[in-house]
Structure 1
Amino acid sequence: MHPRNPYNKPPDFADLARRYPPLRPHVFINHTGSSAIDFKSLPAQKRLTEALLRLDYGLSLTLPDDRLCPPVPNRLNYVLWLQDIVKSNCGSATVRGLDIGTGASAIYPLLACGIEHTWNFVATDIDERSVQFAKQNVSKNSMDSRIAVERVQVDGPILQLLHTSLMDFDFTMCNPPFYSSAEDVSRSADFKEFGPNAVCSGAEVEMITPGGETNFVARIFLESLQLKTKCRWYTSMLGKMSSIPELVSLFREHSVDNYAITEFVQGQTRRWAIGWSFQDARLPDTLARFSNQALQNMMPSRNTLHHVFLGARSAEILASALRNVLTLINGVTIASSATPAIYDHSSAMLHQENHRLLISLFVS
């Protein structure tokens, strides 16, 4: 889970029900004496989503029974990762995002705009029913000036709004249909977002696409090869870890080495996200890589080196050598910061503590 996600611990359902009365009929005391809800109940899931959005973010949604009911903690993980990417790579005063397949809830742009008041979105979907509910939810929350909802053609480019827009975008985001067929859904042990006993209300248009999520994200990537810097970072969530090697292989086939992979963990649910960029600016390793032995060969190259120096003199020599080399590079400004060594007068010995050296490069 993202470290800034406030749902690191299960919510107090009794307290939520007290503050959001429509949730009350769905809360009970379980065998451990704790308050709980039945995640196999779609009404309970919907009331929980409504309660979290209303109480924590001041958002009000209308959620149809025949479309996905989005779990707030899981969706928030993705938004917070994008927030980190924007802060790391994007210096514009107004941030523009494209949400591909926004769904009936339009939860990603609503959550993001509720958190970041300088963000604006274009939200797209191929499903007319989802588009109508998304527009209703945007208007209900007085976000019409910041979130535009557009229906796009099912047989057109996925990034068709980028092709036609006069504006550049800072990021795209997408929660793609994970599965290639109804049989693929039934075989999956991880298609239920709230846990192994949850109910899923997603329509076929939200759950299934030819070739599954790997093919869908690959289509976005191939379209992005034509658009390139029209967008700073192209990103998508993934429901299957097995999709990552296939997509990374596609990146490498096209010599795209500026990419990022992360993992979102929420209870028993694991999701992943992948992003790529055609610009020079790289993300720090904390945003672009995560620890998973099975995927280490898939991770982008490290751009942060950690090395321990046992003593101040070694770090000073290294810092001097680095500065001499880096000052020869046109357009590079250097700022350095080193933690001072600690000298113990009573023993007249220099503590052999880690001496940290940080050199920041600014390329104009």
Structure 2
Amino acid sequence: MKNKRKREQPRPAIHPRNKYSEKPPDFALLASFYPSFKPFVFYSRDGRPRIDWTDFNATRELTRILLHHDHGINWWIPDGQLCPTVPNRSNYIHWIEDLLLSDIIPRPNPNQDNVRGFDIGTGANCIYPLLGASLLGWRFVGSDVADVAIEWAERNVKSNPQISDLIEIRKAGTDASCSQVEDPYNENSNLERKVDHAVRDDCYSGPPILYGVVRDGETFDFCMCNPPFFESMEEAGLNPKTSCGGTVDEMVCPGGEKAFITRIIEDSVKLKHSFRWYTSMVGRKINLKFLTSKLREVGVTIVKTTEFVQGQTCRWGIAWSFVPPVKKIISTHVAEKPNLSFMLQGLQRQSSAFDVLQSIESFFRVSGASCKLNVSSFCVDISASNNHLSGIFKEDAEENLDEASGNINFRISVFQQIPGTLLVKGSLQQKDCPVSGELLSAFQRLEVVLKDKFCQTKDSSNPP
């Protein structure tokens, strides 16, 4: 029965607004229109037209004709550069469109019509700016560090005069005007120079990504990124089913995608509200949990994830923001139900439920919250302001305790499940009081702290 239920769960599908959602590319038809594509098409035993996905020339020609046939874009890249698939990249564009249309995060200037995006590592292919501009009329800055990428991205932009005014290509790390960025949502705010300790220990040490590339006073609706997924070119070549090319700059960085996206998080802590949404593609699902934990630790107001499915390829998307969400829209349309419960599994033998309860009390008390531990019912009653909850993520929280007002009263209870497993559950003690973003972030931080302290690691060989 369990396996049957699994099979009945719908798989994530191509985005419904994707041009290819109802009608995938017809290779035979395209070959009849484009003689240059015909040599790459062959027919399987069932009579279906196919191409060899391990042939770089075949995938490049397919991308070229799809961009021309369906989007009116002239495009080319030299040998060895990363060749993107058009349907997959379109999924990412439409997901960002969903985020912007939802208005979860308001625009700093509601009267501004043009959406403005920033493509991190646009590559020679410049695929995201070209698609975003042609499909939706968005403006873009595309950045890269490699001279060949800059040269060919500019060629691809100039080859499309109908949208060339919408796209700027920028060399990362060479503009002296790229420094500090003011927060358009808070006239009195200063740029945070101290990066949270949660993102210091990852090992990206390459060229600037966002901070140092975004110019003074610039604001964007979003950034997007197809990060270097791998730690080495050997690792990048492990998939024998595809051959989409890719240079070392495009495919590899020390620490792989986890380190690269962690640096984007680090930059977002500094740039804060210069972007409504920070987003990135993720190649490995296992990294989503790690990255989400990092984001909660640095105090983002919202995190969204999705899955991109195209044929046999799965990628994931992660998005976050520091801008306060619009509460009315959050509560009625797009909010996910706040999760104020988690399991502690694999509890160490020397640890008891009472030890966990005491740690919960200490966790909130250190930020200045009022706590009352009830041993008989295994719960802690807590009264805390949003300042107290925000202070959990700040080293200098004690200096701001007098500013606390409008306390939130909630209870955290600990329940025994099975031996070695506890349920930690939070509940508000005030009727009709919404769960604040600060409380949700603090609760998620509590989960990380308690699991690190009390739970045995299942597989010590896996990275955290």
Residues 20-39 of structure 1, C-alpha deviation per residue, up to 9 Å, x if partnerless?
A: 22111111221111111121
Letter in structure 2 aligned against 1:6: K
- CA, structure 1 residues 200+288, in 2 after alignment: closer, same or farther (shift >3 Å)? farther
> SS in structure 2 opposite 1:68?
coil
Verify the 8 A CA contact 2:102 2:334 in the aligned structure 1. Answer: no
Output the TM-score relative to the length of structure 1. 0.73
Residue 275, structure 1, aligned to residue 353, structure 2: no
> SS in structure 2 opposite 1:54?
helix
Instruction: Quote the offset at 1:167 in angstroms.
Output: 2.4
Instruction: Quote the offset at 1:75 in angstroms.
Output: 0.5
Match of 2:228 in 1: 177
Verify the 8 A CA contact 1:251 1:257 in the aligned structure 2. Answer: no
Verify the 8 A CA contact 2:84 2:244 in the aligned structure 1. Answer: no
Residues 224-268 of structure 1, C-alpha deviation per residue, up to 9 Å, x if partnerless?
A: 111111110000001111110111111122232411101000011
> SS in structure 2 opposite 1:158?
coil
Match of 2:305 in 1: 261
Match of 1:347 in 2: none
Verify the 8 A CA contact 1:179 1:213 in the aligned structure 2. Answer: yes
CA distance in 2, matches of 1:51, 1:26: 12
Unpaired runs of 5+ residues, structure 2, are: 1-13, 174-204, 337-342, 345-431, 434-464
CA distance in 2, matches of 1:167, 1:106: 21
- CA, structure 1 residues 50+163, in 2 after alignment: closer, same or farther (shift >3 Å)? closer
CA distance in 2, matches of 1:124, 1:281: 28
Verify the 8 A CA contact 1:260 1:288 in the aligned structure 2. Answer: no
Match of 2:132 in 1: 112
Residue 134, structure 1, aligned to residue 125, structure 2: no
Letter in structure 2 aligned against 1:82: I
Residues 274-324 of structure 1, C-alpha deviation per residue, up to 9 Å, x if partnerless?
A: 0100112268799887xxxxxx99xxxxxxxxxxxxxxxxxxxxxxxxxxx
Q: Which of 10, 16, 20 in structure 2 is aligned with 1:3?
A: 16
The alignment-based identity, stated in percent, is: 42
> SS in structure 1 opposite 2:78?
coil
Letter in structure 1 aligned against 2:87: P
Deviation larger for 29-38 or 129-138: 29-38
Match of 2:262 in 1: 218
Match of 1:360 in 2: none
Match of 2:182 in 1: none
Instruction: Quote the offset at 1:155 in angstroms.
Output: 4.5
Matches within 5 A, 1:80-99: 80-89=94-103, 90=107, 91=110, 92-99=112-119
- CA, structure 1 residues 183+170, in 2 after alignment: closer, same or farther (shift >3 Å)? same
Match of 2:61 in 1: 47
Residue 208, structure 1, aligned to residue 252, structure 2: yes
Verify the 8 A CA contact 1:262 1:287 in the aligned structure 2. Answer: no
Letter in structure 1 aligned against 2:258: T
Residues 310-363 of structure 1, C-alpha deviation per residue, up to 9 Å, x if partnerless?
A: xxxxxxxxxxxxxxx89xxxxxxxxxxxxxxxxxxxxxxxxxxxxxxxxxxxxx
CA distance in 2, matches of 1:220, 1:162: 12
- CA, structure 1 residues 274+139, in 2 after alignment: closer, same or farther (shift >3 Å)? same
> SS in structure 2 opposite 1:145?
helix
Letter in structure 2 aligned against 1:30: S
Verify the 8 A CA contact 1:123 1:149 in the aligned structure 2. Answer: yes
> SS in structure 1 opposite 2:277?
strand
Match of 1:302 in 2: none
Q: Which of 276, 279, 290 in structure 2 is aligned with 1:232?
A: 276
- CA, structure 1 residues 185+43, in 2 after alignment: closer, same or farther (shift >3 Å)? closer
Instruction: Quote the offset at 1:6 in angstroms.
Output: 2.5
CA distance in 2, matches of 1:145, 1:255: 37
Letter in structure 2 aligned against 1:140: S
Q: Which has the larger radius of gyration?
A: 2
CA distance in 2, matches of 1:127, 1:281: 37
Runs of 4+ in 1 over 4 A off after TM superposition: 282-289
Match of 1:38 in 2: 52
Unpaired runs of 5+ residues, structure 1, are: 290-295, 298-324, 327-364
Verify the 8 A CA contact 1:162 1:230 in the aligned structure 2. Answer: no
> SS in structure 1 opposite 2:269?
helix
Output the TM-score relative to the length of structure 2. 0.58
Match of 1:353 in 2: none
Letter in structure 1 aligned against 2:169: V
- CA, structure 1 residues 288+274, in 2 after alignment: closer, same or farther (shift >3 Å)? farther
- CA, structure 1 residues 131+108, in 2 after alignment: closer, same or farther (shift >3 Å)? same
Residues 96-121 of structure 1, C-alpha deviation per residue, up to 9 Å, x if partnerless?
A: 1000000101010000000112x111
Verify the 8 A CA contact 2:301 2:323 in the aligned structure 1. Answer: no
Instruction: Quote the offset at 1:66 in angstroms.
Output: 1.1
Q: Which of 41, 58, 75 in structure 1 is aligned with 2:89?
A: 75
CA distance in 1, matches of 2:82, 2:55: 13
Verify the 8 A CA contact 1:260 1:287 in the aligned structure 2. Answer: no
Number of positions where the alignment pairs a residue of Structure 1 with one of Structure 2: 285
